[in-house]
Structure 1
């Protein structure tokens, strides 16, 4: 299906970190050595390896941007300025830079996994204030690849909410500071969208990478189960959460995901062979209304996929009881994390009520494995005829940026559920999914995005398709 240019170009990334496809499709695309220091991660790493810039150059520029811009959006809760500079100097002295795929690249890490020397807060005042003694495996892999952690990013308490604020600080959307950056990886999405870092770690329990990625107009991917080390909190959100990445480009996300997964093949973007794609715009519940411009974003993605040679067919996704299964698991997902807090009495009022409902649901035995088994069986049957499904990522523009943590439980639940109903099913079954920017809402002037999802093991396919959609954006 693919034309010769695309087929060859995505298999060819030259030494400056820029693909032939990017140059061919955009003749004004600058050579890597002409990128600003805040350019794509792959180009930055290539320049560090070539010696045209140093890690301290890159880190200093990133810290300068963070110092200037973070106060406007509150993406970072901790900035490791002194430590990052010291690590950049150590990196510069190494003799193996040419072996490091992320040499000198500044990255952000979500605050609910361990970064050595930084307290792991999980968005809660009830968290420990003691610095973590060692890095989470994901952070260790980033460092081993040459990345430098410049800070940790904001999130809502225990990752439970689809807006991000804590301790009186609201994380704002760089595309519209009057709106939320989304949640729960809201700080990560804001940091990438504002150009403070080219890539950021996030994790995704019911859409917590894809929701803020869509809200902020960046690319985000949640891998399938066991592709990347999990270990998020006490029980990885009852097994629904996976670590993944947010980035300004698909190629940067693929590079970062390859590092997190320990799989170099994921960095090699290739145009997929002709795919059978289902276009499913209906939400999991009839109670949810979908903004017509978000429906149009999914249709746009479908049209671009068809133009790239794929077979695209309108379908209804067999959601089954997905809405009910998500509603039952959401309140109980944070119970293990809450139980591990040293000061649970400091939890926010909305969170306490949410967890109380979760305990009641558990006590009544309403969460049962066979609920997800039935959903997964329906999806397995569906994907006998399709390789990928495209849906809207969100149902509406992100809510206003405000102190949602001070509002009532009902207001928070409705705000989160109304605009983000499409993402959670892929967490229930543990399958990979990604959000790809698809232009701008003509009325709200906020980003639009489409969600791509596929069966276990389809990460490379989703990345390749996303790169095709991105290059025609």
Structure 2
């Protein structure tokens, strides 16, 4: 079993582990597994070993929260000497002259960036594949690892690295976390400070990890919030359970519903008050999400991509985004935010399924039409996007296994702004009483 990030960093700080050897072992695991898993777009073998040696020589080694920890970074952020590919051959491939804020924070904490993980083009879909490969679920390789942070999830769930960076605009951390049996946290809006917000403020950075403690540690670094690394035991909370798919009310597979019931039972036994209740999502919330899902990638594509070189599905999506961008407004978001605030006056935490369907299969989705991609994307992500629009923190955590497939059944925990520590504390309680298998 691969050591956790917490264990690695503690041992490196104590002089019990050498960062170079830790990195060498991670690279060996990547070489052995990634031909099947397809997690990485680029493995930085020589660069990572050199960086690990630099970490080992740092005078502040015994103070670094991620000392010597191998980390995978989603292929959407600047890393010195690399280009951010965004899953596309249509963008610039000029190497970055300096790190972006995410790589800066990881390096400052002592992490070693071993590679850039696979994403769908412009991070539009919850399936991560490109002409170079398919990010597969390490537990059930016939299924996708999810998206758009699917490569990061696959890298962690396969044990290649203990933690990975992701981004989440409509569920892109939580969906792959749920599919691969990981802890994935989307922090609230503004928790991870960066020069510009993506997708009209809906997208943010967050961690993927096999344990709650590892997710908390990486979150503390990404958000420059050391306090988040220390997980406390929550006071009794008012927890609402809901298995109603927002707005469209589609049928929910029974194993996904049972995970919510199981989480409620476990947390009630821990002293929390648990009731059934569903927020008033409203049709306007769905319209606001769809318009941003179109318009966000369209604005991104216009800012530096050759539209003629985009994949066929992406060109269709971008054209639709050009048409719908005029309809993006704060009115629907404000109305939804008011309803969400009203719901959380009576409840402290909401628990739903993370996924609304089983994961899509692993295949070359980038060769298929826009409609073929969009239909499974919309179905599987029914529970997640509303909380990006609201800017609320939300976390996915495994609670059980599917009876037919070797897949996790996961739940989404949602709290009002500032609730990241609470969500991590509740996830730790679930992990303590109902632990999950850490990696394949």
TM range, normalised to the smaller chain?
over 0.9
Distance in 1, matches of 2:398 and 2:306, equals 39
Aligned counterpart, 1:320? 282
Match of 2:437 in 1: none
Residues 199 and 247 of structure 1 are in contact (CA less than 8 Å); yes or no, is this contact kept in structure 2?
yes
TM-score, scaled to structure 1: 0.90
Residue 7 of structure 1 is matched in structure 2 by none
Paired with 1:176 and 1:327, the residues of 2 have a C-alpha distance of 30
Summarize deviations over 1:141-178 as a string: whole Å, max 9, x none: 11111100000100001010011111152111101100
Q: Identify which of 3, 8, 12 aligns with 1:48.
A: 12
Q: Which residue does 1:329 correspond to in 2?
A: 292
- Please say if 1:372 is aligned against 2:333: yes
Compute the displacement of 1:347 (Å): 0.5
Unaligned runs of 5+ in 2: 435-440
Instruction: Give the counterpart of 2:352 among 391, 394, 412.
Output: 391
- What is the deviation of 1:285? 2.3
TM-superposed deviation, 1:368:
2.1
CA distance in 2, matches of 1:276, 1:58: 43
Residue 125 (structure 1) aligned with residue 86 (structure 2):
no
Please give the secondary structure, in 1, of the residue aligned with 2:143.
strand
Q: Which residue of 2 aligns with 1:209?
A: 173
**1:95 and 2:91 matched:** no
Conserved in 1, the CA contact under 8 Å of 2:185 and 2:396?
yes
Secondary structure in structure 1 of the residue aligned to 2:199: helix
Shift of 1:342: 4.0
Q: Is the 8 A contact 2:202 2:388 kept in 1?
A: yes
Which secondary structure does the structure 1 equivalent of 2:288 belong to?
helix
Matched, 1:436 2:397: yes
8 A contact 2:295–2:324 mirrored in 1: yes
Name 1:106's counterpart in structure 2. Answer: 70
Instruction: Give the unaligned 5+ runs of structure 1.
Output: 1-35
In structure 2, what is the equivalent of residue 290 of structure 1?
252
Measured in 1, the distance between the counterparts of 2:64 and 2:371 equals 48
Instruction: Give the Cα separation in 2 of the matches to 1:278 and 1:287.
Output: 18
- Partner SS, residue 108 of structure 1: strand
Q: Which residue of 1 aligns with 2:420?
A: 459
Aligned equivalents of 2:242, 2:288: Cα separation in 1? 20
Secondary structure of the structure 2 residue equivalent to 1:257: helix
Instruction: Check whether the contact 1:397–1:444 (CA below 8 A) recurs between aligned residues.
Output: no
1:226 equivalent in alignment to 2:187? no
Counterpart mapping for 1:3-402 below 5 A? 38-231=2-195, 235-286=197-248, 288-321=250-283, 322-362=285-325, 365-402=326-363
3-state secondary structure, aligned to 1:389: strand
* Structure 1 segments (4+ residues) deviating >6 Å: none
Residue 415 of structure 1: aligned partner: 376
Q: Secondary structure at the match of 1:179?
A: coil
Q: Is the 8 A contact 1:210 1:222 kept in 2?
A: yes
Aligned residues of 2:350 and 2:413 also touching (Cα < 8 A): yes
Contact 2:298 2:317 in 1 (8 A): no
CA shift at 1:52, angstroms? 1.3
Is the CA contact (8 Å cut-off) linking 1:138 and 1:229 kept in structure 2?
no
Structure 2 equivalent of residue 28 of structure 1: none
